[in-house]
Amino acid sequence: MMLNLRERIIQNGIKSLETKELIAVLLGNGTKEQNVTEIADKIAFKFQNLRFDMEQLLNEKGIGIAKACIVMAAIELGERKLEADSLLNHVVDMSSLSEHLIKKIGNSPQEKLIAVYLDNGHRVIEEKVVFVGTADAATVHPRDIIREALYVSATQIVIAHNHPSGLLIPSENDKKFSLRLNKCCRLMGINLIDHVIVTKNAYLSLKTQKFI
């Protein structure tokens, strides 16, 4: 089994494997009671969104501390890879940028607020996670976003945050913060292009919804 999976990776690339097969590669082997395919298949079915913690993995038959650590490390590495992905120096439109932001923070179990800084030609100068937690007026201030814009000489900003709940419904704090940031940006001669809410597979523009 493992030999076949490795051969497929070499011949067809890692993307050719299904989720359960990727988990099987990480686990390496099974137990006397269950082979590695059965264990991996059970995990992939039970945690289809791949959101689990160490305790949940250890509760699965056939998973010990060593294997759980390997799987958790792989998940964390994947999340860090997504966070590191950047559109730096790319010229973007709102559609492509929003799709990028879905991939970047849409699956995060924590709410993250990210600012994308652009020049007049819509070229990305910098992407920066401004806050992790609950983005509201009490924890995020427009100056934190505008300060960086001035530092990198950005003339335009797009901000985005994710809703781990999966609901694309702007809260009152989302609306108030957007209006407050827009007002501050105007005073500094910076254009707030949009505030985007993202989930794991969709996005909502507050500008389009006329909340800015």
Q: State the average pLDDT over residues 179-190.
A: 96
What pLDDT band is residue 82 in, cutting at 50, 70 and 90?
confident
If pLDDT is split at 50, 70 and 90, which confidence band does 49 have?
Answer: confident
Condensed to tens digits (0 to 9), the pLDDT of residues 95-115 reads 999 999 998 999 888 899 999
- Tokens for 56? 């949940």
Of the candidate ranges 49-53, 89-93, 169-173, the one whose mean pLDDT is the lowest: 49-53
Cα–Cα nearest to 43, from 26, 136, 210, 65: 26
Let me know: does 119 contact 154? Beta carbons within 8 Å: yes
User: In DSSP terms, which residues pair with 112 in a beta bridge?
Assistant: 132
Distance separating alpha carbons of residues 115 and 148, to the nearest angstrom = 9
The per-residue pLDDT for 134 is 58
Spatial neighbors of 66 by CB under 8 A, at least 6 apart, are: none
**pLDDT tier, 132 (very low <50, low <70, confident <90, very high otherwise):** confident
**Mean predicted confidence (pLDDT) in 15-34:** 92
Q: 12-16, 46-50, 188-192 — which one is most confidently predicted on average? A: 188-192
Show the domains of the chain with their CATH numbers. Answer: 2-83 (no CATH), 85-205 (3.40.140.10)
Query: Stretch 147-165: mean pLDDT, rounded?
Result: 96
**Does this model's pTM top 0.75?**
no
What are the CA-CA distances from residue 201 to residues 15, 144, 204 (Å)?
19, 28, 11
pLDDT in the model for residue 211: 87
Q: How far apart are alpha carbons 182 and 142 in whole angstroms? A: 9
Q: Are 148 and 112 in contact (CB under 8 A)?
A: no
Residue 137: band (very low, low, confident or very high) from pLDDT cuts 50, 70, 90: very low
